[in-house]
Amino acid sequence: MKKIVALLLAVVLALAVSGCAESLKEIEIPPLPVITPTPAPDFSAPSHEPETETPEPSSPESEPSEPSPGPADPDAAAGDEPEDPNALPGNEPETATGQQPPQTGYQVIIPVASSSPSPAPVQEATSAIVVSIERTEENVYDPEKNEILILSFSYDETRVRSDENPAAAERINEWLGTVEEAFYMGSGTAYGLNVSFLGYDNLLTTASDNYQASVDYQNEDLILEMSDSLSAEVTRLDEGMFSLLYTDSANTGRESSDKLLGASFDMSTGEHLVLDRLSDDPEGLEDSLVQIMQELVQEDPDGYFASHIQKDYLPAGGMEEAFRMLLKENNWYFDLDGMVIYSKRSQLGPDEAGITEFHIPYARLEGKLKEAYLFPADRTGDGSLSVSELGRIGGSLPFAGSVLLDPNGQQLALVVEGQIYDLRITRVFYSERFYEIGQLWAASSLADCAVQLQTLVPEGMPNLRISFTTADGQRFSKLLRQNGMDGSFLLVDDNIQAVG
């Protein structure tokens, strides 16, 4: 009897398993998640959009009807810390956390630019040459308590956009990428640059050894924080020339230093310009510049140059030989007023005097430079600039670009009526006066269009300066603030009385 019951139970169980197997065939299994590794910095890329790996689309048969759940492992779910929505690019809090490189165990913070929560207006083709500057930072803290900042490393990534001449813009961006790579890797001469950089790895090793020494010998006098920053500033931007100035400010604990690297480009070809390319008579241009520099020194014998240039620091040939050396080293750039020639520290005078600069107006360069490189004199039109909430402007107004500072900030529009030139958007800091602490965006010329700007406008002192030039050569410098009475946004004159 027991054998018969057991046989019947076995048959029932087999039929049940067979039914479950048929049901399992109809269950849709969601695809495995795709893990995207963090890409290494690509200094040659013309764009700064974050590169992400997109999984291939699944067939309709394999797509789950419900969204797939997150990872079951709580450690895997907490692998990426959420970004601080209030952090401005280039101004992230020092207490943020990040990945730890296995080679040192020190914490490195690499902030990633946040995306706007709402779609940006469509960027239309424009005749303007546009330059965007984005700050990248890497901060390293001590390995014991993760509290002491031992290395602050940052650099500006600069990119040019020209819808009318994309080939020239691409050529310029490749050159700019080599500068950023040289700064990060710790070289310069290999790229034909007249400046050498310390490099991230070299500074990290020094900072690590310095911190360990302070622990081993309990030396509280050691300066633990080391820093190096490469900032970029657009100094001239028009159809003839794009010129910018890099400033490398480093502090190794034992000494601090400032280095300049000027660079100018022909906007029709994208060629990086050296002195011989600026004139049809290169030797005559060099002779003229040396003569003008000597005249500038003679015109101010007891002023600026008296403390910056001293005979004991000059070569055997005196000022003439020293000035020719500056030109051969391509230590120059162009701005809105003329040509600026500069020295290294201790090259013409004592180190405490700093860098010596010679400002030569365009009027003294007429007949010496090629016409394309003289500052444009045939500008026409009349224009103005105002600010408005993004939703209040007409839908037919074209957008020349966008600047995102804070994804939770107000969405504004800089509205151009008529024609303006040399637009600059710059972050500023107030300490008895306003100091520029980082350029963000620039355009050669804009007409009857708008620039999207998303930022938090502080209740106190303004933190953004917007400047531009009109066709008649007048330069306007404005600060962005909010009206405390009705909440509207204003561009006010760049002086403390206007904002105080």
pLDDT at 274 over 50: yes
Neighbour tally for 122: CB within 10 Å: 7
Average pLDDT in the chain: 79
Residue 58's pLDDT band, with cuts at 50, 70 and 90, is very low
Model pLDDT, residue 70: 40
Among 97, 6, 100, 115, residue whose Cα is nearest residue 52? 115
**What per-residue confidence (pLDDT) applies to 191?**
64
User: Mean pLDDT, to the nearest integer, of 164-174?
Assistant: 97
Taking Cα atoms as reference points, which of 108, 198, 131 lies closest to residue 442? 131
Q: What is the DSSP secondary structure assignment for residue 323, as one 8-state letter? A: H
Q: pLDDT tens-digit profile of 276-302?
A: 999 999 999 999 999 999 999 999 888
pLDDT band of 67, cuts 50, 70, 90: very low
Listed in sequence order, the residues at least 6 apart from 34 whose beta carbon sits closer than 8 Å to its beta carbon are 53, 55
Judged against a pLDDT cut of 90, whether residue 485 lies above it is answered with: no
- Tokens in use for 151? 């290395």
What tens digit of pLDDT does each residue of 172-226 get? 999 999 999 999 999 776 666 778 899 999 999 999 988 888 888 887 666 678 9
Q: Taking residues 446-462, what's their average pLDDT?
A: 91
> Given this model, what pLDDT does residue 483 score?
85
Give the residue among 65, 71, 151 at the shortest CA–CA distance from 109: 151
Residue 53 φ/ψ region, left for φ over 0, alpha for ψ in the -120 to 50 degree band, beta for the rest: beta
Q: How many CB atoms lie within 10 A of CB 255?
A: 8
How far apart are the C-alpha atoms of 277 and 271, rounded to whole Å?
10
In the predicted structure, residue 378 carries a pLDDT above the cut 90: no
Is 195 within 8 Å of 259 (Cβ atoms)?
A: yes
Q: Which spans in 217-254 are helix H? A: none
Is this model's pTM higher than 0.85 or not? Answer: no
Residue tagged 């303004």 (tokens): 462
Measured on CA atoms in the order 261, 441, 454, 480, is the torsion positive or negative? positive
User: Which of the two residues, 420 and 37, has the higher pLDDT score?
Assistant: 420
301-353 residue pLDDT tens: 889 999 999 999 999 999 999 999 999 999 999 999 999 999 999 999 999 99
Q: Which among 157, 158, 228 is positioned nearest to 199, based on CA atoms?
A: 228
* Interatomic CA distance for residues 358 and 381, integer angstroms: 32
* pLDDT at 467 (0 to 100): 96
Assess contact for 390 and 415: CB atoms under 8 A.
Answer: no
What is the percent of the chain with per-residue pLDDT over 70, rounded to a whole number?
A: 72
Location of structure tokens 């080599």? 178
